[in-house]
Amino acid sequence: MGDQNVFGQSFMLGVDLSYVNEMEDCGVEYYEQGVAKDVYRIFNDHGARMVRLRLWHTPSWYDTLNTGKRYSDIQDVEQSIRRAKSLGMQVLLDFQLSDFWADPSRQWAPAAWAGAVNNLPVLQDSLRQYISQILGRLAAVELLPEVIQIGNETNRDILQATGVNTPWQLDWSRNAALFNTAIQAIRASHPQIKIALHIAGPQNVEWYIDGFTSHGVQDFDIIGFSYYWPYHQPATISETGDLIRRLRLHYPEKEVMILETGCIWTVQAADQAANVLNTVDPAYAPASPANQSKWLIDLTKTVYAAGGSGIIYWEPAWVSSPCSTPWGQGSHYENAAFFDFNHELIEDGGIQWLEYDYTGSTGRKSERTPTVTINRRYQLLEIQSAEKLLDPDWRYMIVGLNGRVLQSGYLREWEGDDVIRYLTLPPSGYRWTVLSIWSEHGVFRTNPYWIHP
């Protein structure tokens, strides 16, 4: 059920499988019902329709790790893209624009560009040539991705000098120039590829996207963000849905996706490598395969109903192995993988998230759309239906053109009955606004209204 289509809009479920080649070289075999099986096929058979892959520039730190083989460089990524496309899966390629992990704590430029980090024109030229060369190479072997993500969790300046991680800084003029350079490099040769921006944490997304667009970074297709409960609490699933609604209202031409998420199924560990996720949303405690599945399904139902375009689970195949990371032997994520400590697929765990039919459980629109009118004489916002469809548990949100929420709540707070309800508006302050009305079953109406002449 990974590519689910309702009213012409595709909803994509995907998995990040960047670690798989390394795991297999470290001796890992993956099993389903006791039988060894290709892990790409496991995910594809259960409904994954997109594979996300990270790309590092020159990960030379691998040279002294394990067997000395490098991963997530272009040679390794080519192998992974080929595996995904052989099964008809789409690919999201994450240009991390670094030799090492890029995230909110560090955004280090490749060592090859170290001399250019303070020379913006030279840095832009290096970035442009790099992206063009990578895409040219992939195009030559028919392995172009469907989506490109520029940077990874870019909550600060990208392409900084190695070692720069404090203090936090964001020079919008420099950052915007670099992002636009990357965008132009993609558009110049392969305009059909969708472009995504990626922010860590739902609570940060609006500020950053407003910053990008107000500084001229506008030619992108997808607003992407990470959502991990341990890192981004107390942001709830419901609040994440509200965020997506606001983004869809403020940026109706953009898709919204969760590009990274994860949830543990146990607090136990299979090795000495410290795990990066160790807690769950209290509403989904204790950690268990069933609660991992429930959290993911509830999150996805909410994202779908809010108008989101998809969710990608980060590294569900990063199981424990004899190999090491820079921080320890094993995996830092085996308690959030979709496999048990013997590398057997957990049938009642997270894999069920891919199988769930979101189109049947929650629709985005209703054919029986209520009528919304503005009664300017009495300054009333009226919602009416002749079919007695007005459920008092429907929610509403009034958003200004700047994206600020002016008012929100439930229809039960309005006066009236199940045929007509009305809200008295303040005498001033609301001019051109957007009203959205929805329930747990999806968005019923999102329209602009001119309230004050």
Of the candidates 168, 242, 177, 169, the one whose C-alpha atom is nearest the C-alpha of residue 205 is 242
List of residues 6+ apart from 306 with CB closer than 8 A? 241, 242, 244, 245, 248, 256, 438, 443
Catalytic status, residue 24: no
- Does the annotation mark 260 as catalytic? yes
Q: Token pair of 228, please?
A: 């991990």
Paired sense of beta strands 328-329 and 324-325, if any: antiparallel
State the catalytic residue, choosing from 153, 206, 255, 315. Answer: 153
CA–CA distance, 232 with 245 (Å, rounded to integer): 19
Radius of gyration of the chain (CA): 23
The closest alpha carbon to 57, from 31, 6, 86, 96, belongs to 96
* Cα 44 to Cα 24: distance, rounded to the nearest angstrom: 18
Nearest in space to 310 (alpha carbons), one of 19, 5, 84, 7: 5
Catalytic residue among 22, 260, 315, 334: 260
Rounded Cα distance between 96 and 73, Å, is 11
Pairing of strands 395-400, 405-410: antiparallel
> How far apart (Å, rounded) are the C-alpha atoms in residues 72 and 80?
9
d(CA 205, CA 228): 14
Separation between Cα atoms, residue 338 and residue 263, nearest integer Å = 10
SS3 384: strand
- In terms of DSSP bridges, do strands 420-424 and 380-384 run parallel, antiparallel, or are they unpaired? antiparallel
Active site residues: 153, 260
